[in-house]
């Protein structure tokens, strides 16, 4: 049973129905996986310890320990495998089980409602979601994705040094127009290129920067680097239209702003001065603030945001749907864009609830006269759903992963800036 010498990815299945367990095992094997299944929770936990699966498929409803109890146990054991939840229960129960597992810190790949087709299972097994493989490298990773090496312990002195040595880099993720597929702009996302740990994702260091008074420096470095790149990018002959219209001036760059910086007038003045020096119009810059940050001090936010809008800068409400703001608070602040949080977009394909939330946010945005962007689009079905429901702009791995500046030119060469998505949608 323990074919530990094989280099294939390993899938461990726990299902009280042997027929279903065998079927999943067979489909996985045909997709090139090493797969084992068991009907007993006890045996399952021994297998988890000894066989170290990369992916685990768990049935939700089982006699004895049910799927939720099994996942709680897995979370306690700090299980890093990707998890697929399978069940004949209705979508809402499956969604709730998925949410509960995610909140326990498990790496949920997706839910598989029974009955399922081989293609549905194969899609999950080959999902772009990164899975640490038993060989220690990362599966499904394409160029430009940050490798989240196992929680490097970072301290403020490291970060201070990284800022002094300019180890923080900007990666760029394209945003496209949902209707015609043309390029709308890029979001700049911070990456720390650590000499020992490699690329570190911002979730590991933005909070560190915020709690040690380093966020202003980080934001200024990110703004300087990305504005310099963006200005040069917009001037490229293939971006400037031959007809004389400067298409480059229609492109936008989104910068993430920390909650702590809302009242930092000097920071915004510095960014404004970079824009002037680099010939970038304020209308081309979108400051992204999260819902909670904008609501923390609504009066200060109102002042700063109104002044920024008066200068022509665009303002985006990032990760919308995860905070608790009321419509009234929203209407008070002069945002120009609303970004549907990726947690709803990522689950839109399998969750009716998520689709309802996504649609309501698009409708709310439009009724307030805001542009709507959905981020976290990983599959064509979700993209089509968003377009059909009037979402304006799209961002996600389906279109492109965040990438270093050098890769953007290549990406543009392959896709062009007009109608990137036309062929795929035809
Ligand atoms: P965010 O601003 O909401 O950025 C979107 C995040 O979603 C990025 O994660 C991006 O890589 C990820 N993403 C985009 N498309 C997909 C997709 O299709 N699937 C999945 N699973 N993820 C997708 P990233 O780069 O790890 O950044 C995380 C957060 O860190 C950002 O969330 C932002 O809040 C913060 N951040 C990043 N750069 C900066 C920065 O320069 N300053 C500040 N203050 N915060 C930053
Ligand atoms: Mg953002
Ligand atoms: Mg976001």
Question: Do 179 and 119 share a domain, yes or no?
Answer: no
- As for how many domains the chain has, the answer is 2
Asked, for residue 177, whether it belongs to a domain, the answer is: yes
Question: What is this structure's pTM?
Answer: 0.73
Q: Which of 104, 126, 148 is the last residue of a domain?
A: 126
pLDDT value of residue 246: 66
Q: Is a pLDDT exceeding 70 seen at residue 141? A: no
Confidence of residue 187 (pLDDT cuts 50, 70, 90): very high
Residue 215 lies in a domain: yes
Same domain, 173 and 249: yes
Of the candidates 126, 146, 178, which is a domain's last residue? 126
Across 209-227, average pLDDT: 96
- Tens of pLDDT, residue by residue over 223-277, are 999 999 999 999 888 776 655 566 777 899 999 999 889 889 999 999 999 999 9
Residue of the nearest CA to atom 11 in ligand 1?
Answer: 402
* Angle, CA of 103, 108 and 113, to the nearest 5°: 115
Cβ–ligand 1 distance for 256 under 6 Å, the answer yes
**Contact status, residue 363 vs residue 94, Cβ threshold 8 Å:** no
Q: Give me the CATH number covering residue 241.
A: 3.20.20.450
CA distance 132 to 145: 13
Q: Are 242 and 236 in contact (CB under 8 A)?
A: no
**Residue 5 resides in a domain:** no
Q: Whose CA is nearest to atom 20 of ligand 1?
A: 376
Say how far apart CA 40 and CA 14 lie, in whole Å: 7
- The more confident residue out of 264 and 4 is 264
Region 359-376: what's the mean pLDDT?
95
248 and 141 co-located in one domain: yes
Residue 329: the pLDDT is 67
The pLDDT assigned to 325 comes to: 65
For the cut 80, the answer to whether the pLDDT of residue 361 exceeds it is yes
Dist. CA 351 → ligand 3 center (Å):
20
Highest mean pLDDT among 12-21, 109-118, 300-309, 413-422: 12-21
Q: What is the pLDDT of residue 271?
A: 98
Domain boundary residue among 105, 126, 147? 126
d(Cα 372, Cα 321) in Å, to the nearest integer?
13
Kindly tell me if the per-residue pLDDT of 4 is higher than 90. Answer: no
Place of tokens 């602040």: 333
Are the C-beta atoms of residues 373 and 336 closer than 8 Å to each other? no
Q: Are 240 and 224 in contact (CB under 8 A)?
A: no
Domain extent, residue 52, equals: 10-126
Domain match, 301 and 354 both: yes
Instruction: Give the residue, by CA position, lying nearest to ligand 1 atom 46.
Output: 256
Q: What is the pLDDT, as a whole number, of residue 108?
A: 85
Is residue 372 located within the same domain as residue 404? yes
Regarding the beta carbon of 253 and ligand 1, being less than 6 Å apart is answered: no
CATH number (domain holding residue 22): 3.40.50.2300
Q: Answer yes or no: do 189 and 116 share one domain.
A: no
Question: Mean of the pLDDT values across residues 70-96?
Answer: 84
Mean of the per-residue pLDDT values of the chain:
85
* Shared domain check, 118 and 155: no
Residue 153 clears pLDDT 90, i.e. is over it: no
Please check whether residues 103 and 166 belong to one and the same domain: no
Backbone phi, psi, residue 123, to 5°: -60, -40
Q: Tell me the two tokens of residue 333.
A: 């602040």
- Percentage of the chain modeled with pLDDT above 70: 85
Q: What angle do CA 393, 278, 210 make, to 5 degrees?
A: 65
Does residue 374 have its Cβ closer than 6 Å to ligand 1? no
Torsion angle, alpha carbons of 247, 250, 253, 254, to 10: -150
On whether both 160 and 43 belong to a single domain, the answer is no
* pLDDT of res. 99: 78
The answer to whether position 304 is within a domain reads: yes
Residue 417 lies in a domain: yes
User: For a pocket test of ligand 1, which of 166, 201, 256 has the largest count of ligand atoms closer than 8 A to its C-beta?
Assistant: 256
The predicted pLDDT at position 63 comes to 84
Is residue 3 in some structural domain?
A: no
Q: Are residues 242 and 278 in the same domain?
A: yes
Is the residue at 2 inside a domain?
Answer: no
- 122 in a domain, yes or no? yes
Going by CA atoms, what residue is nearest to atom 8 of ligand 1? 189
Instruction: Check whether residue 97 and residue 181 sit in a common domain.
Output: no
Q: What pLDDT band is residue 13 in, cutting at 50, 70 and 90?
A: very high
Q: What is the pLDDT of residues 92-137, one digit of tens each?
A: 677 778 778 888 888 888 888 878 888 888 888 876 443 333 333 3
Indicate whether 198 and 268 sit together in one domain.
yes
């Amino acid at each position: 049973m323990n074919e530990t010498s094989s280099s294939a990815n390993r899938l461990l299945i726990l299902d009280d129905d042997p027929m279903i367990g065998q079927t999943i095992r067979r489909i996985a094997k045909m997709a090139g996986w090493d797969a084992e299944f068991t009907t007993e929770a006890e045996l399952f936990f021994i297998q988890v310890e000894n066989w170290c699966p990369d992916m685990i498929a768990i049935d939700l409803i089982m006699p004895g320990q049910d799927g939720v109890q099994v996942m709680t146990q897995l979370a306690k054991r700090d299980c890093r495998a990707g998890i697929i939840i399978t069940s004949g229960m209705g979508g809402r129960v499956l969604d709730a089980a998925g949410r509960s597992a995610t909140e326990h810190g498990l790496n949920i790949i997706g839910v598989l409602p029974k009955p399922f087709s081989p293609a549905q299972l194969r899609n999950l097994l080959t999902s772009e979601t990164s899975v640490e493989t038993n060989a220690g490298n990362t599966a499904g990773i394409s160029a430009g994705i940050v490798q989240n090496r196992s929680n490097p312990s970072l301290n403020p002195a490291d970060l201070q040094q990284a800022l002094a040595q300019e180890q923080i880099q900007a990666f760029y993720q394209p945003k496209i127009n949902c209707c015609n597929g043309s390029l709308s702009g890029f979001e700049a996302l911070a990456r720390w290129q650590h000499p020992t740990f490699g690329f570190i994702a911002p979730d590991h260091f933005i909070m560190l920067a915020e709690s040690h008074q380093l966020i202003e420096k980080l934001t200024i470095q990110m703004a300087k680097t990305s504005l310099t790149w963006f200005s040069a990018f917009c001037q490229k002959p293939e971006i400037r239209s031959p007809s004389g219209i400067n298409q480059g001036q229609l492109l936008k760059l989104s910068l993430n702003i920390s909650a702590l910086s809302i009242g930092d007038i000097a920071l915004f003045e510095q960014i404004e001065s970079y824009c002037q020096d680099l010939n970038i119009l304020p209308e081309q810059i979108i400051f992204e603030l999260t819902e909670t940050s904008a609501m923390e001090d609504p009066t200060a936010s109102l002042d700063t945001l109104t002044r920024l809008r008066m200068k022509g800068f665009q303002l985006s409400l990032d990760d919308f749907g995860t905070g608790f703001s009321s419509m009234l608070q929203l209407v008070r602040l002069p945002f120009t864009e609303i970004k549907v949080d990726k947690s709803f977009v990522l689950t839109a394909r399998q969750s009716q609830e998520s689709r309802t939330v996504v649609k309501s946010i698009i409708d709310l945005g439009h009724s307030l006269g805001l542009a709507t962007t959905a981020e976290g689009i990983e599959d064509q079905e979700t993209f089509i759903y968003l377009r059909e429901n009037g979402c304006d702009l799209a961002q996600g791995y389906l279109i492109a992963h965040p990438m270093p500046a050098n890769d953007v030119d290549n990406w543009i060469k392959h896709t062009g800036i007009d109608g990137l998505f036309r062929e795929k949608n035809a």
